[in-house]
């Protein structure tokens, strides 16, 4: 007999000699998958997770699966997990906690037995339920593609088989299985979709399940193309120091920009969310700015270059300075030198890759101090002639928390007289009347 269930197993991509870890709950779907694998000659190891949600019924499921494995003469592994307690601890749904436990267990046994693949018994109906549930939550193209038939070592051969075909297979082959009493409970979101939404859709169009399954296959092809283009764009954007050159995104289609944002959020550990994605897309087009994710990952953009990192400020510092001294700061080594105007000009031309802050030495009053920013600091830049709070200056420049707390500020007895990156205070800048220059030479530390 060449039943669709057995065809699906043979076309799964796994060879009988590869070794397969299969998750078996005891229900019709997983029992049919186990039977088909054994019938087709696969080397099988069974895993069963007792979720401890239904008391004696859960224990009976475990005993049933264990007995079936004895009958098939296949290895059996079992794990008990209080997923209700785990869900509370992880602050997630019971379904999500159960899924986490199962896949971790499956992978553990796969490595222990040397199996090549993990198989689960998700069906075409499960695919449709998943897509409809994601639609209700407002998913994008990737979410509409549903459950992938293959993800890494995980194979789902029954995604091409309907639940009706599986139940017919169980009848024809006299496959015993158990029915989970919670399958009828509409307290679970998936069950509400199964028992309410899908029947309503089938009443409108009898072929709804098949049609939605075809849609996911078609959209998967489109999704693969967009994923390929996004991967190319992201590869071109990555810089040697772990940053991203975002300037090329100005010429990309919004679909690629959005997917690139999601990819960056994912690979930096910021977490994928629609709100974060929208904010990161907006950040791409800014000259400078910042964005903070809830889990502490920060994004900063300046001149089209995006930096991702932790929001960790530097420790405060303050150092008394005089010509000839060098201070080691979180921002880098800062050397203070007194020079003639002519020598200072030559020095900055020769060593043009360094960062400088130049002041008219003869305008300085009293002791010179090099320090980090403190609350209330104000600065009147010689470039603009406008007095502003340094905190606001740094924020508008898209500084990271590290930079905001590490950028060196130069003070004398009158207050702030210079800020690295922003120049000298008005009236203390190097001009045509300057005879002596106090030059701060910064060898910046790479973050």
Whether residue 228 lies inside any domain: the answer is: no
Q: Same domain, yes or no, for 299 and 178?
A: no
Give yes or no: residues 102 and 201 share one domain.
yes
In this structure, is residue 304 part of a structural domain?
yes
Q: Is residue 174 domain-shared with residue 293, that is, in the same domain?
A: no
> Which residues neighbour 396 within 8 Å (Cβ) at sequence distance 6 or greater?
288
- Would you say residue 109 lies in a domain? yes
Please tell me the distance from the alpha carbon of residue 372 to that of residue 16, in angstroms, as a whole number: 66
Q: Is residue 44 part of a domain?
A: yes
Judge whether 129 lies within some domain: yes
382 is in an annotated binding site: no
Model-level pTM? 0.65
Each residue of 90-122: pLDDT tens digit?
888 888 888 999 999 999 999 999 999 999 999
87 is in an annotated binding site: no
Question: Binding residue per annotation — 412?
Answer: no
Q: Is 29 annotated as a binding residue?
A: yes
Give Cβ neighbours of residue 37 (< 8 Å, ≥ 6 apart): 9, 20, 22, 44, 119
pLDDT of 428 above 90: yes
Which has the higher per-residue pLDDT, 16 or 310? 16
CA angle, 28 then 164 then 50, to 5°:
20
Nearest 5°: phi and psi at 352? -75, -10
Q: Using one digit for the tens of pLDDT, what is the confidence trace for 361-400?
A: 999 999 999 999 999 999 999 999 999 999 999 888 778 7
Domain tally, the chain: 3
Q: Say yes or no: 106 and 251 in one domain.
A: no
d(CA 315, CA 210): 61
31 annotated as belonging to a binding site for a ligand: no
- The answer on pLDDT for 183 being more than 90 is no
Confidence of residue 184 (pLDDT cuts 50, 70, 90): low
The reply to whether 325 and 385 lie within a common domain is yes
Share above pLDDT 70 across residues of the chain, in percent, rounded to a whole number: 97
Q: 56: burial class by Cβ within 10 Å (0-12, 13-18, 19+)?
A: exposed
Task: For residue 156, give the CATH number of its domain.
Answer: 3.40.50.620
> Does the annotation flag 26 for ligand binding?
yes
Q: Tell me, yes or no, whether 351 and 439 share the same domain.
A: yes
3-state percent breakdown (helix, strand, coil) of the chain, nearest 5: 45, 20, 35
411 in the same domain as 332: yes
The domain boundary residue, chosen from 275, 310, 345: 310
Structural domain that includes position 81:
4-215
Read off the pLDDT band of 309 (50, 70, 90).
Answer: confident
Q: Are residues 301 and 336 both part of a single domain?
A: no
């Amino acid at each position: 007999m060449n039943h669709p269930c057995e065809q699906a197993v043979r076309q799964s991509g796994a060879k009988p000699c590869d070794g397969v870890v299969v998750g078996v709950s005891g229900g019709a779907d997983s029992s049919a998958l186990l039977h088909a694998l054994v019938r087709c000659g696969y080397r099988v190891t069974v895993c069963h997770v007792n979720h401890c949600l239904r008391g004696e019924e859960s224990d009976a499921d475990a005993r049933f699966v264990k007995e079936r494995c004895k009958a098939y003469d296949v290895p059996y592994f079992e794990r008990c997990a209080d997923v209700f307690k785990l869900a509370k601890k992880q602050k997630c749904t019971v379904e999500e906690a159960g899924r986490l436990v199962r896949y971790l267990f499956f992978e553990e046994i796969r490595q222990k037995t040397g199996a090549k693949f993990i198989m689960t018994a998700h069906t075409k109906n499960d695919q449709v339920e998943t897509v409809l549930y994601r639609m209700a939550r407002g998913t994008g193209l990737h979410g509409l593609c549903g459950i992938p038939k293959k993800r890494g070592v995980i194979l789902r051969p029954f995604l091409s088989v309907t639940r009706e075909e599986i139940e017919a297979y169980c009848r024809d082959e006299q496959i015993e299985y158990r029915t989970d009493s919670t399958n009828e409970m509409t307290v679970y979101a998936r069950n509400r979709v199964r028992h309410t939404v899908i029947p309503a859709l089938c009443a409108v169009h009898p072929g709804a399940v098949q049609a939605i399954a075809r849609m996911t296959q078609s959209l998967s092809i489109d999704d693969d193309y967009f994923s390929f283009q996004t991967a190319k764009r992201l590869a071109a954007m990555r810089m040697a120091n772990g940053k991203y050159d975002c300037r090329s995104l100005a010429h990309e289609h919004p679909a690629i920009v959005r997917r690139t944002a999601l990819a960056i959020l994912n690979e930096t550990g910021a977490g994928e969310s629609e709100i974060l994605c929208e904010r990161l897309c907006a950040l791409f087009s800014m000259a400078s700015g910042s964005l903070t994710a809830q889990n502490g990952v920060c994004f900063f953009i300046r001149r089209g270059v995006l930096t991702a990192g932790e929001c960790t400020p530097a420790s405060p510092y303050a150092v008394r300075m005089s010509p000839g001294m060098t201070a080691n700061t979180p921002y880098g080594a800062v050397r203070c030198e007194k020079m003639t105007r002519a020598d200072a000009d030559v020095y900055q031309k020769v060593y043009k890759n360094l960062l400088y802050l130049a002041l008219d030495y003869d305008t300085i009053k009293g002791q010179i101090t090099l320090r980090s920013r403190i609350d209330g600091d104000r600065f009147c830049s010689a470039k603009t002639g406008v007095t502003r709070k340094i905190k606001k200056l740094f924020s508008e420049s898209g500084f990271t928390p590290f930079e905001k707390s590490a950028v060196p500020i130069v003070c004398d007895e009158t207050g702030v007289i210079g800020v690295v990156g922003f120049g000298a205070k008005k009236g203390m800048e190097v001009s045509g009347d300057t005879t002596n220059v106090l030059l701060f030479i910064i060898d910046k530390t790479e973050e």
